[in-house]
Copies of this chain bind each other. A is one copy, B any other.
């Protein structure tokens, strides 16, 4: 962070917006009009439009004590793009609204926007509008993402079929373990401010928490291999919670194999330092932004071409319930224990 400090009030609201958006270059031909008018204009001839929105609040969704603003800007975009990919759609535009308290300097905001623009650039998305206002307390971020999908190719949560394979991308549970490390170091720091943080060797799990990516590659793989998942959702609240969503919405049950749940070696080692079960982290951790989906068994041969995808179970009739078969041979109902922000 630079040492300069420009008070935001010196710019005024419109000066601030101008400052923050002056470097935007629109990337999508469908972005006809961007920031600077009452609304943006988007051209979607022959495509269907997908729209999703997320509200991130300081102290609830992120802690600025250990979250670099640039990473936060990046992640604020990613969590929304992930929802667009979970519809089998391609994100094209975002809007960004911020509530900022007066303890924020212009330099801090610039860092946040650096992350926003980095994500926009990495995923080919245009920032086309927003709103900037003051907040009485805390930093508030609201992102809306818009995407395109070829008509009738969008994938809902409710259309899985009995016998479909249950699949997930990447590794699960890492972000949660990263959070445990950062929370521990914050506690130590607050108790003994002189102690240096001991995060040696944990850059993998911490990176997964602070700078997640959305699975653009998986949706592109589906298009290339002409796979249309029968249902899909992104993993933001933990695998259990998302599986139960697919089951409930599709009115099905499922069998999940514990041994098939993909967890990274780095995450396992890190979880053992906290004496917690890696499987529990994967099931209940959340913030993975991987894609959980079902495919028809006939697509299995295409699917195995992609090493980033694991088959973790299959869908059953609703009467059989949603169950996990543990490594020890036990069978238990899957229960949602995701991060429930409302219960905090």
* Interface positions of A (Cβ within 8 A of B): 8-9, 11-13, 16, 32-33, 36-55, 57-61, 83-84, 86-87, 89, 93, 95, 97-99, 128-138, 140, 142, 144-147, 149, 151, 154, 156-158, 232-234, 249, 340-344
Q: How many copies does the complex hold?
A: 2
Contact partners of A12 in chain B: CB under 8 A: 340, 342-343
CA separation between A149 and B32, bound complex, in Å?
12
Q: Which of B37, B135, B138, B154 contacts A41 (CB 8 A)?
A: B154
Give the CA-CA distance A52 to B55 in the complex, in Å. Answer: 16
Contact A38 to B233, CB < 8 A, known contacts A93-B51, A342-B12: yes
**Contact partners of A55 in chain B: CB under 8 A:** 97-99, 131, 133, 140, 142
Q: Which 4 pairs of residues, A with B, have the shortest CB-CB distance?
A: A39-B52, A142-B142, A38-B86, A55-B97
State whether B36 touches A128 (Cβ < 8 A): no
Specify which of B98, B136, B157 is in contact with A60 (CB 8 Å cutoff): B136
The answer to whether B142 touches A97 (Cβ under 8 A) is yes
The answer to whether A341 touches B53, judged by C-beta atoms less than 8 angstroms apart, is no
* Given contact pairs A38-B234, A144-B144, A342-B13, A133 touches B60 in the complex (Cβ within 8 A): yes
Note all chain B residues with C-beta closer than 8 A to A60.
99, 133-136
Least Cβ–Cβ distance between A322 and chain B, in angstroms: 15
Is the beta-carbon distance between B135 and A39 smaller than 8 angstroms?
Answer: no
**In-complex Cβ contact of A156 among B33, B50, B83, B146 (8 A):** B33
Smallest CB-CB separation from A146: which chain B residue? B51
Which residue of B57, B131, B157 is within 8 Å of A99 (Cβ)? B57
- Would you call B38 and A83 a contact (CB within 8 A)? yes
